[in-house]
């Protein structure tokens, strides 16, 4: 079995990339808003905690992208006689880039809405002892210079309750 920290990020990756779910959700939102929003392809959903400056040097990581990683593990031992019973916080860091600051400032909201809609639809048991209550936190960062001209990011942090023997 994968380490718990990688397993959490992998589970979110599977949710977003299975049947191109994130790509389809973005397309659906853009269509309903009559907006032209670039989609996030499954190949741009990656397990990485690399900073944007470092990731920009990697030719494989284009824009827009979602970087998934675990940022906290807490074994609370709330269930005695379990090797792990606690929480794992996983982050989906969404990055957008464009020539115009107004574009990234709009696009990031569509990406976050698509991602959180998928999360909200998957409350419950995710297998392997992972349970998602549906709670998440979003933190938007202001646009700045970089990428294709301007970049903007948002961190979506969700917490899994985990219980394994």
Q: How far is the C-alpha of 150 from the C-alpha of 142, rounded, in Å?
A: 10
pTM of the model: 0.93
pLDDT tens-place string over residues 117-156: 999 999 999 999 999 999 999 999 999 998 888 999 999 9
- The structure tokens 């079995």 sit at 1
pLDDT tens-place string over residues 32-78: 999 999 999 999 999 998 877 777 776 567 899 999 999 999 999 98
Cα dihedral sign for 146, 148, 149, 153? negative
Domains plus CATH for the chain? Answer: 4-164 (3.30.70)
DSSP class per residue in 42-89: GGGEEE----HHHHHT-TT--SSEEEEEEEEEEE---STT-SEEEEEE
130-140 and 45-47 beta bridge pairing: unpaired
């Amino acid at each position: 079995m994968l380490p718990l920290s990688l397993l959490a990020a992998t589970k979110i990756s599977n949710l977003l990339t299975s049947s191109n779910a994130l790509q389809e959700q973005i397309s659906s939102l853009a269509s309903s808003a009559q907006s032209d929003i670039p989609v996030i392809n499954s190949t741009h959903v990656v397990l990485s905690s690399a900073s944007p400056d470092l990731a920009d040097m990697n030719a494989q990581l284009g824009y827009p992208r979602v970087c998934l990683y675990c940022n906290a593990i807490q074994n609370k031992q709330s269930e005695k006689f379990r090797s792990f019973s606690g929480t794992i916080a996983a982050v989906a860091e969404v990055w957008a880039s464009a020539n115009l600051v107004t574009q990234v400032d709009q696009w990031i909201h569509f990406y976050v809405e698509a991602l959180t809609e998928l999360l909200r639809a998957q409350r419950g048991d995710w297998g392997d002892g992972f349970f998602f209550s549906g709670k998440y936190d979003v933190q938007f960062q202001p646009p700045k210079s970089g990428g294709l001209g301007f970049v903007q990011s948002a961190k979506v942090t969700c917490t899994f309750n985990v219980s394994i023997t």
